[in-house]
Amino acid sequence: MSKGKGVMQEFKAFILKGNIIDMAVGVIIGGAFSKIVTSLVNDILMPLLGAVTGGADFDTFKIVLSPAVKDAAGEIIKAEAAVRYGLFLQNILDFLIIGACMFFMIKAVAMISSRLRHEEEKKEAAPAGPTQEELLAEIRDLLKAQQNAENAE
């Protein structure tokens, strides 16, 4: 029983580590982001590209290696063998958009991190002001000098 409890505690510690949770959040957000980019490519960019190319539907772009074989009733007996390069082009476009987005996000995070690091270095490099003891000693010396000046009159 105690061995099982130890394993559960180890598992709990493993799951609650910050980097594991960060990774899980990243995977979930990445999946959602992938759906958005796929929709952008399939629903917006490819139809626009199709309109520019005269109504071409990239889903149908293929090279048929062997056509489908049908029986007398029109049922497919053997499916066609085809190289579907239209879908491949869509996937390349997906990849390029995701890659560009990731590049710019990483670049932005690096820039922000660099600025924060630079600001911290400025704060560390700034000369420290006088300590409380130094200020009190300076006030004391000024009061003594003022008192000596009054006594000299």
Beta bridge partners of 83: 63
Domain that holds residue 144: 57-153
User: Which of 54, 72, 88 lies at the terminal end of a domain, its last residue?
Assistant: 54
Where do we find the tokens 């990239």? 58
CA–CA distance, 145 with 138 (Å, rounded to integer): 10
Single pTM value for the model: 0.52
State pLDDT tens for residues 26-38. Answer: 889 888 888 888 8
Q: Are 64 and 125 in a shared domain? A: yes
Q: Are 28 and 65 in a shared domain? A: no
State pLDDT tens for residues 51-81. Answer: 888 877 777 889 999 998 998 888 889 989 9
83 close to 63: Cβ distance less than 8 angstroms: yes
Q: Are 122 and 89 in a shared domain? A: yes
How many folded domains does the chain comprise? 2
Q: Are 118 and 141 in a shared domain? A: yes
Q: Are 113 and 65 in a shared domain? A: yes
Q: Are 82 and 33 in a shared domain? A: no
